[in-house]
Every structure is written in C-alpha cells, then in structure tokens.
Amino acid sequence: MMSAMKPDLGVGVGLRVPHYAAILAERPAVDFFEVISENFMVEGGKPLHHLERVLEHYRVVQHGVSLGIAGPNPPDRAYLQRLKLLVSRTKTPWVSDHFCWSGAGGAHLHDLLPIPYTPEAVRRIAERARMIQDFLEVPFALENTSSYLTYRSSTLTEWELISEVAERADIGLLFDVNNVYVSAYNHGFDAQEFVRSVPHERILQIHLAGHTNLGKYIIDTHRGTVIDAVLDLYRTTIALAGPVSTLIEWDDEIPALPVLLAEAERARRVRDQGLALRAGQVVPTGPSSASPVVASDAPLWRQGGPRESAADEAVG
C-alpha cells in the first residue's frame, strides 16, 4: 500500500515569494515545488493567482504548519475543510504536517512545540491522523520536528513514537533528516540509530535544510546550505528507503533562485549515491564526492557546523 502512496517526484524546492517572478518568467527545471498550505488557504487574491500560474507548469505538494495534531484540542474542523479545498485545487499527491502541538484554549502560538513521547501521545495522535487522512481523501504524513527540550514523562524514544503512530494510523512519514541531526545534537542521541529505526517504507517525502550551530545547541533556522553531516544521514536514508521525493527548505535569508536550485542539484547527487548504495554499488566518498565523509572522532551527531547563506516564509 505504501509504495502506491509515494510517487517519486525527484528533488524539489519550497515555493517562496521572492522567487515568484523568476519562476514564472524563466520556468526553471524544478521537479516539484512544496507550498506552505496555510499561505494559500484563502478565498482569492494574489496568493491563489500565483499558485494557479505555478500549477500550470509544475507539480505542487502541500505542507502545513498549523495543524497542531498533538495538542489538547482536536483538529479544527473549519481548518480541515479549507485544507481539503486547497487539496482539490493543487491535486497534491499527499498532505503533511508535524508531530507537535501549537496552542491551547483558542490561542495559537505559531510554533512547532515538542511533545512527550508516551503511549498516550501515540494513541491521541494516531486516532487524529487516521481521521484526517480519511477526511482529506489523500495520503497524510507527519514530520519529525527539531526540539530543544525533552519531557520527564517520556517513556519512548522519538523514533519509537513516530514509528508507532505511522503504523497504527496507517499514514506516511515526512522524514526531516536535518531535524534528526539537530535534535540528536541537542539531546545527545545517535542520529544514525534514528535513521535506521523508522519504517522506511512509510517515508513519503524527505526534507533537507540548513541550520544555525550556536556551539552548545543547534537552532533549526532553515538558513544556509545543508551541511555535509546531514547529507551523510540523507545518503543513508535513501539507501534504506529507496527513491523518495526530497525537498530543500530555505526559509531565512532566502538566496537568489539559482543558489537554491544549485543546492537541489547537490542533494540530487547525494540521492544518486544513496540509490547506488541500495543497489550494492561502490560509492566514492572522497573529496570529489557531493558530500565527503566527515573526518572526525566525534559521533556523527556532533560533527559539522552551519554553512551560512540564506531563507523566507513559514518554517516547517
């Protein structure tokens, strides 16, 4: 069932306002664009005008940032209805959001807040995820988030929680490899164990992004290029999961479109390496490869630092 749910769209980039003019005028070679759903859940105006023009030439995938599926209140019905209307407009192959909560008591905090990793959280999220997928009538996926604190009540690892939810609800995973790296660095767990422990057949899409390394901890800023250590994790993920649609997120200090497209091509080279590994081929990992092995005695999750450059819009 999962293989039927996940067409391989290749390597795409986020659709962001600073690039609209260049995209519509030049029609660059992009496999697909990802849009932040909430930016287009409106009745009309410029957002939908530009989206319709992009849809004339490109495949578009929806990614949300406001569902708050793990919060104390069930998903808002009006929100889901607007989301479904957008699904009918974009013909997105799937819809995704995050393993998080975003508010309570009618207040929306506009952040992807961490959740306790408990059996109760698994039950709540799985029930809601199954309902959402049934309502939207397209495959639904949830993304692992980066985090900066943990709960004393947690009895599961993060990868155990997201795997259990995906299996119980029969949904997909949007696997953010950068978020794995960020959280592993911040909390001191093994990023490779995370990558190897999730149900790879349920990964519908992969996110890659830059981040900001402040030494003691990393902030998931979606700024700059993807560091080599994250690309190493990505290569391993592709070797385990096979060809999965991959997106470059760049949402702070957004660069010119050619810079973003070059980053997508860099990811494509690493993706090809992962597929070659999956096929049992020897893959070069020296200085000439797209993502060389990082020479360090430190664990993988402590290697590397940020490559500063740039990003816009909602971070998800």
Kindly report, residue by residue over 135-164, the tens digit of the pLDDT. Answer: 999 999 999 999 999 999 999 999 999 999
- pLDDT the model gives residue 106: 72
Mean confidence (pLDDT) of the chain:
89
Give me the pLDDT at residue 304, please. Answer: 35
pLDDT tens-digit profile of 15-32?
A: 999 999 999 999 999 999
| Exposure letters 62-95 (e unless 16+ CB within 10 A, then b) | bbbbbbbbbbeeebeeebbebbbebbebbebbbb
Most confident of 67-76, 109-118, 167-176: 167-176
Instruction: Tell me the residue type at 108.
Output: H
Q: What letter would DSSP give residue 307? A: B
Can you tell me which residue has the tokens 């995820």? Answer: 129
pLDDT value at 10 more than 80? yes
Return the pLDDT at 105.
74
Nearest one of 79, 140, 129 to 108, comparing CA atoms: 79
> What number is the average pLDDT over the span 63-89?
96
- Residue 142's CB is within 10 A of a number of other CB atoms, namely 27
Share of the chain above pLDDT 90, in %: 82
Query: Residue 281: its pLDDT value, please?
Result: 84
CA separation for the pair 242, 258 (Å, rounded)? 27
pLDDT at 102: 86
Environment class of residue 57 by beta-carbon count within 10 Å: exposed (0-12), middle (13-18) or buried (19+)? exposed
Residue ranges in 206-313 assigned as alpha helix (H): 228-241, 257-278
- In angstroms, the CA 270 to CA 277 distance is 11
Do residues 231 and 265 touch, judged by C-beta distance below 8 A? no
pLDDT of residue 307: 29
Q: What six digits make up the tokens of 286?
A: 């020296």
Residue 176 has pLDDT above 70, yes or no: yes
Indicate if the pLDDT at residue 291 is higher than 80: no
How far are the Cα atoms of 45, 149, 223 from residue 219, in angstroms, in the given order?
Answer: 34, 12, 10
Query: What pLDDT shows up at residue 288?
Result: 34
**pLDDT above 70 coverage of the chain, percent:** 87
Q: Average pLDDT of 222-238?
A: 98
Domain ranges of the chain: 2-302
Region of poorest pLDDT, from 19-23, 251-255, 299-303: 299-303
The answer to whether 65 and 112 are in contact (CB under 8 A) is yes
User: What CATH number is given for 2-302 in this structure?
Assistant: 3.20.20.150
Q: Are 240 and 277 in contact (CB under 8 A)?
A: no
